[in-house]
Amino acid sequence: MATPLKDLGKDAIAEKGWFGAHKYLILRRISQIGIIALFLLGPWAGIWILKGNLVSSLVFDTVPLTDPMVFLQMLAAGFVGVGSTAIIGAVIVAVFYYLVGGRVYCSWVCPINIVTDAAHWTRRKLDIRQSAKLKPSIRYYMLALVLVVAFATGSLAYELVNPVSIVNRGLIFGMGFGWAALAAVFLFDLFVARHGWCGHICPMGAFYGLIGAKSQLRVRADGRANCDDCMECYEVCPEAQVIPPAVKSAPDGSPVILSGACTNCGRCIDICPNYVYAFGLRGLALVTPPTIDVQPETGANPQGAVTAKEKQIA
């Protein structure tokens, strides 16, 4: 039966310990903050491991990395004489995310993710339930719009307001009113729409979702037989619509979370006390789930509970 919100994560902590139940969350925070720290090591300590910012950088002054979405915007803006460094950099980044999942950028790299996660956490603590009904597909319209505006203005217009690059660049080079952009995203996610920015609006999420739609690294629900419908993964998942096709499909259906919208954040793996989820490859389970004797509570209607909760989330 669905776990009450106030008990969220308690079963997982009881089963795996606090660190075990927050493993990927901690690793993601280390990754997100560590990347910014590497960028700051240069200007602050003179140690140039990463130079530039997330939009375009140099690793050890040699390997170029360029955000392929900004690269696309340049082409749309009509700049065709792009330097080879940017092309090589964009290819490296695109191939990386093609393999590990595009939205790994969202949950392991993007600094805004910390902000929207904080908004979601606050939302839960304040028990804010109302949310504007936005369609997750808005982001694809946004992505198209970003390219259209670049074409129409002949400049990287979206980069003027893109909170992702404003915050990342601001931390390294000076924020200006960038804090306002940060606050706007936080307040939007807190009061206007649940998972509003990352799950519905952000065109970068849309772009990286498309890049990584066929990625090899995937969350797999090989232990779905263990699922006792506690619904905790739905509560923590930033893109909860990706779960049911893997967990609740017919027995012969794929247990792999196939949607490109999945950010590979691993919160479902952390929060699940019954080891339903694990990272694996698209065609290969890397972890064998333990068999747990699940005893559904009497009177519970797992299938019905899921449907009701799903509706509430979507």
Q: Which residues bind other proteins (CB under 8 A)?
A: 42-43, 48, 51-53, 55-58, 64, 66-67, 70-71, 74, 77-79, 81-83, 85-86, 89, 135, 137-138, 141-142, 145, 148-150, 152-161, 165-166, 169-170, 172-178, 180-181
For residues 181 and 278, which CB has a smaller minimum distance to other proteins in the complex? 181
Q: Least distance from C-beta 144 to other proteins, angstroms?
A: 8
- Side-chain-side CA neighbours of 18 within 13 Å: the count stands at 0
For residues 62 and 130, which CB has a smaller minimum distance to other proteins in the complex? 62
Q: Least distance from C-beta 311 to other proteins, angstroms?
A: 16
- How far apart CA 122 and CA 153 sit, in angstroms, is 38
The residue behind tokens 């290969």 is 284
Q: Least distance from C-beta 135 to other proteins, angstroms?
A: 6
- How far apart CA 62 and CA 51 sit, in angstroms, is 10
Q: Least distance from C-beta 260 to other proteins, angstroms?
A: 19
Helix (H) or strand (E) segment spanning residue 278: strand 278-281
Report CA-CA distances (Å) from 223 to 54, 154, 227, 273, 278. Answer: 36, 51, 7, 11, 8
For residues 183 and 300, which CB has a smaller minimum distance to other proteins in the complex? 183
SS3 63: strand
Q: Least distance from C-beta 183 to other proteins, angstroms?
A: 12
For residues 156 and 265, which CB has a smaller minimum distance to other proteins in the complex? 156
Helix (H) or strand (E) segment spanning residue 229: none
Residues contacting residue 19 through CB under 8 Å, at least 6 positions apart: 26
For residues 32 and 57, which CB has a smaller minimum distance to other proteins in the complex? 57
